Chains A and B, each alone.
Chain A
Amino acid sequence: MEAKKSFVKINNISMWYPQKNKTLSQVFKKEQQWVKAVDNVSLELAKGEILGVIGESGCGKSTLGRALARLENPTQGDVFINDISTQNLIKEDQRKFRRTVQIVFQNPFDTFTPRDTIEKILMRPLKLHGIEKNDEERRKKCIDLLESGGLKPAEEIMKRYPHELSGGQLQRISILRSMLFNPQFIIADEPVSMLDVSVRAEIINMLLTLSRENDATVVFISHDIALTRYISDKIAVMYLGKVIEYGDCETIINRPQHPYTQALISNTASIDPDEEREIIKVEGEPPTPVNPGPGCYFAPRCFKATENCFKQYPETVEFESGHFVSCSEI
């Protein structure tokens, strides 16, 4: 797939949920319907690479993140980090897996126990993983960590409870906490979408520097295309659980090939009032992920759809080197 050796290899990962509310006929036929939140996603990431995952809400980008962090066990497929299967790793040594893979969540107000001080919150994982010899050294590590993230005075902040800090500060702590073990693979699930624009930039820059320092591979999940362009090296566009286009960040933004990506980018509003854009109109909304198809999932809304599109899900083709598109019209 690439000349550079891949570090994280996502191999045919799928996350299917059984549909609970069956219709009567389905009960009699004993048919199990599946909600295919993530369907056969395969991607490869080089070491230190940042992959942006974009798509509308409900396209499965967060579920992909959760499956990658093994918060949920994927229905099928596996992720290899440095050629080690995470499925085996998590069974053998769950702590080691957690040290390698970390996730940053969207809502900083929900990620912390409201009853503990920041000190307790930061010290607990260190203690559980047996890092440093005693509490004194662990505390010092935490203070250094907070100060490196620009949270000063660190000692003062350690004494506080999460509700006493602002969203920006909490999200910083959340990112710093995920960096405690120098993870090799970080999943950032919309880390700044809850924050104000003026605070956003600093947190994004912090995430960038920290991941560069650690040479960590990052999956950055976001619905904000401009922000994803700013942060990522590669971009994967998802629609109804499938990756429909993948390639270099600039290629995807400037020369999108899949009609859905084209529509998505053309609908992103710019802050330049003079910019003339041609908005590609897309009818309707994404259909349910319960047994979509058989054709291309986007075909019913696509402005380029032909008869062929409704018959079979298109194969992924390499449009140009390193730029993959799943569309039968290309």
Chain B
Amino acid sequence: MDKVLELKDFNVTYKNKSKKVYAVKDINLVINKGDSLGIVGESGSGKSTLAMALLRLLPEKNTDINGSSNFANMDLVQASEKELKEIRWKELSVVFQKSMNALSPVHRIGEQIEDIYRVHKPNARKDEILDRIKALLKLVNLSDRVIKMYPHELSGGMLQRVAIAISLIHDPKLLIMDEATTALDVVTQGQILAEIVKMEQTLDVTRIMITHDISVVATTCNKIAVLYAGELMEVGYVKDILKDPKHPYTKGLLASIPSLSGEKETLTGIPGHLPDLSQKYEGCIFAPRCKFAMEQCEKSKPSEVQLSAENRVWCHLYSHLDRDEQLESREDLVEVNR
């Protein structure tokens, strides 16, 4: 499968005079074409930092980005501002939680979309642009009337739809939605999520959803990455992980969400709180809050355990699995060699 985005040892560090905050640590992640990846984590887990660093939107003065992120034959970490300008909107676009606030209050929606269209196609004809805008608005379930309206005439849900439409204007390869539906009401969120899933059937777009709401990922994504304190805990298919979570953190997270159907089960939270990210830790970052923490967990960082082709977990509980398998495969190799 084609790789759209490949992160290798991706690190983001915020720094000021007195201290450094290690916000995102050693992320290794591959996103294939057509995937929809949900990145979940609590506040402060570094999910937005990851997205902003990918987009290179963080102030360079006080952030260090290390590692590589390969997107469309270029390394986003090393790319120059000019190169980035080339790919923004066209290949890579983003919708934020408050994207709707970015709309100018004194220009009509249509004019604003037109401006963005002309960024990459400066010589486009008026009617061509109008057709494109109409098609986009139809995609997000808005009527053509919106073109002639000002942002204050639209509700929050409609504005967020406009923002999503704008992000799709140049058929980007990768769309990042950073809490794009969080500020909206249940009904509006449900509508927009359904529209996103529907429109993906017709478009050729890979999507990253960043959210703290696992149910959003469950309804709209096929893969999930669980982030805690800037580190990946578990990556894999949504249907596997939400059914049978492997990492104690994912388990805890799922146990603390009440369900709408079935028996009422007692909710259990995860005791403790996020560690101070300005320090480096020797062991597993989740160990102080983990029910299953062993001696080993405080001493060494768990390495990646490949559970199946796409499912990976970073936890000592499963490291023996990997070792056994590795041993087996090694024995196989030895036999083959013989």
Whether a CB of chain A sits under 8 angstroms from the CB of B19 is: no
A: residues with CB less than 8 A from B are 56-57, 166, 168, 196-205, 223, 225-227, 229-230, 253, 263-275, 279, 281-282, 285
Alpha-carbon distance between A168 and B43 when the two chains are bound, in angstroms: 12
CB–CB B186/A267 < 8 A: yes
**Of B187, B257, B259, which contacts A263 at CB under 8 A?**
B187
Given that A56-B186, A202-B271 are contacting pairs, would A269 and B218 also be in contact in the complex, using a CB cutoff of 8 Å?
A: yes
| B residues less than 8 Å from A274 (CB atoms) | 239, 243
**Of A56, A204, A273, which contacts B267 at CB under 8 A?**
A204
Which parts of B132-150 form the interface with A (CB within 8 Å)?
none
Whose C-beta in chain B lies nearest to the C-beta of A167? B43
8 new A-B contacts at CB < 8 Å, known A229-B260, A269-B216:
A198-B252, A225-B260, A268-B215, A269-B213, A270-B259, A271-B214, A274-B239, A275-B261
Work out how many contacts link A and B, with CB atoms closer than 8 A.
115
Whose C-beta in chain A lies nearest to the C-beta of B215? A269
How many Å from the CB of B190 to the closest CB on chain A? 3
CB–CB B264/A270 < 8 A: no
| A residues less than 8 Å from B101 (CB atoms) | none
Alpha-carbon distance between A267 and B256 when the two chains are bound, in angstroms: 21
Whether a CB of chain A sits under 8 angstroms from the CB of B105 is: no
A–B pairs, 17, beta carbons within 8 Å: A56-B187, A196-B42, A196-B212, A197-B214, A197-B253, A199-B273, A200-B267, A205-B266, A205-B267, A226-B259, A264-B187, A267-B186, A267-B187, A268-B215, A270-B260, A275-B261, A285-B158
| A residues less than 8 Å from B242 (CB atoms) | 271-273
CB–CB B273/A201 < 8 A: no
Given that A56-B186, A285-B188 are contacting pairs, would A279 and B194 also be in contact in the complex, using a CB cutoff of 8 Å?
A: yes
| A residues less than 8 Å from B156 (CB atoms) | 285
| A residues less than 8 Å from B243 (CB atoms) | 272-274
Alpha-carbon distance between A51 and B155 when the two chains are bound, in angstroms: 30
CB–CB B267/A270 < 8 A: no
Which of B187, B218, B261 gathers most chain A CB within 10 Å?
A: B187
Given that A205-B267, A274-B239, A285-B157 are contacting pairs, would A198 and B216 also be in contact in the complex, using a CB cutoff of 8 Å?
A: no
Which of B189, B191, B215, B269 gathers most chain A CB within 10 Å?
A: B269
How many Å from the CB of A82 to the closest CB on chain B? 29
**Of A200, A203, A270, which contacts B261 at CB under 8 A?**
A270
- A-B pairs, top 6 by smallest CB distance, nearest first, are A267-B190, A201-B269, A269-B215, A201-B267, A198-B270, A230-B258
